[in-house]
A and B are shown apart, each in its own frame.
Chain A
Amino acid sequence: MRKLLAATLGVLSAVGGFVDIGDLVAASQAGARFGMGHAWVLLLGVVGICAYADMAGRIAAVSGRAVFDLVRERLGARVALLNLVASYLVTVLTLAAELGGVALALRLAAGLPYLVWVPVAGLAVWLVLWRMRFQLMERVFGLAGLALVVFAVALWWLPTDWAALGRGMLHPGEAGHGWGAYWFVAVALFASTVSPYEVFFFSSGGVEERWSAEDLADARSSVLIGFPVGGLLALSLIATATVVFHPGTSVTTLDQVARPVLLAFGAVGLAVVSLGFFAVTFGAALETGLSAAYAAAQYFGWQWGKRVSPREAARFHAVLLVSVLLGVLVLLTTVDPVTLTEYMLIVSAVALPLTYLPILVVANDRTYLGDRVNGRLLNLLGAVFLLVILAASVAAVPLAITTRMGQ
């Protein structure tokens, strides 16, 4: 019974943990402008991240080493250092966007100007990282993030034309915005679904919680069930935005992302949505902050993690602190958090291969995994997905320039 409860909790927190500021922005924008035409992107992303999370988890459980720890041995000190610098910058940029999301959610719930909330959000995130237990942290924010189910419920309250939604999924179109804009949004949505920090976090968390082959089965099932269900949450974001905004209005603020629920349930709906936004962005801020520090510590071989006291992992905690500060500073330049999220997604798309290629390489290395290396089917899936990632990475910047960020 206890075990079942723990497993359920694990699945549910994976569901909540899947969605972050990138999904909120990209999914709503996709729905508002192109209807259901991007549903296939979510499906592709979820299949890919499940395959790679499986590899990263297996590497962590069998070799006892996290992904970035092994990247340096495979790529060499110099290339891995360049990879570290790029991954770190992308992760801190993501952290900044998530902190902006936390501040926006607080403003949505409690009023007061957004910029007042930015330092509060930064301090709160750092305090939780400093003191809260790893698993508790994962559970609390993952479960509270499930409040976003309210988007799926709202679909039944709104005058939804289900047949039209279904047709839209099967017949994607450029809806008068041009195919350039369509593919730009597709790349952004794809990057939000397969955010690299999720894999870093998953594999480092596995090492931190000292997974063995037995725990691996649990962890894997929570991700393999949790991420697809999380994908359904993102799909319901697209669907409600389609029903309420498409065609016509475009979504440029987080208030607009919340509007479908406000229309369906009024003030109560707004309260639930604010909680959901707060939980998913706060949870993702924790994960991105940790991922940035994990990557640095694992490259240099420093002591890392929450199992030892901060005094014993001073360099790890210093990077953590500096990363949160950098995130706050980025936001204090008064950059609009939604615009920041759009740029963050494009930069992440470019950097995607830096994370996913090494995982595929290590997952085939017998010196670490013995006979637990990838099977043929998983390798095929991994390779096909890697090609998609490469295409998205190459196309991201040209699309951003030619469409002027998707206009």
Chain B
Amino acid sequence: MARQLLDRQLVDVTGRLVGKVDDVEFALDDDGVPYVRTLLSGPGALGARVGGRLGRMLVLAAERFVSDPPLTPMRIPFRLVERVDSAVWLRVPAEELPASPVEEWLRRHLIGRIPGAGRASG
């Protein structure tokens, strides 16, 4: 199950791309059978999974964009997953999920300040 989910693209209900499944969290049900409880997404979770110097560099680079490290990954409860095929489709829009701090920072300080940032060029 985890193999099918890991590294897959997360897509919200309107088709927007929200991130990758960078890690998964298991829990045990009443009978002691493990099940997938939460999907984790974000450079913090990815860096830990990649490991080594490369993983640490990834986390350090991402932490430059947040005001209060450490970086916490986006947590998506598994019940929000609609279906899984070549991507993981969620039943909620991206607005209801916590936003990526890196995306927010770049939007506010760089891309959003350039004229024309609000219009798609198609």
A residues at B contact (CB < 8 Å): 63-65, 69-70, 72-73, 76-78, 80-82, 130-134, 299-304, 306-312, 314-315, 317-318, 321, 367-368
Contact = CB atoms under 8 A, between A and B. Distances in A.
Interface in B9-62: 9-10, 16-20, 22, 41, 43, 46, 49-52, 54-55, 58
A368 B111 contact: no
Interface of B: 6-10, 16-20, 22, 41, 43, 46, 49-52, 54-55, 58, 86-87, 100, 102-103, 106-107, 110-112, 114, 116-122
Interface of A is mostly: helix
Nearest to A65: B86
A172 B52 CA distance: 49
Contacts of A132: 121
A69 B100 CA distance: 19
B17 A77 contact: no
Given A69-B9, A314-B110, A314-B112, A134 B122 contact: yes
Contact of B17 (A131, A301, A321): A301
B5 to A, nearest CB: 10
A318 B7 contact: no
Nearest to B46: A77
A367 B19 CA distance: 21
A315 B106 contact: yes
27 contacts: A63-B86, A64-B87, A73-B7, A73-B8, A77-B7, A77-B50, A78-B52, A130-B116, A133-B122, A134-B121, A134-B122, A299-B20, A300-B43, A301-B9, A301-B41, A302-B19, A303-B16, A303-B18, A304-B17, A308-B16, A309-B118, A310-B111, A311-B112, A311-B117, A315-B103, A321-B111, A368-B86
Contacts of A307: 120, 122
B19 A300 contact: yes
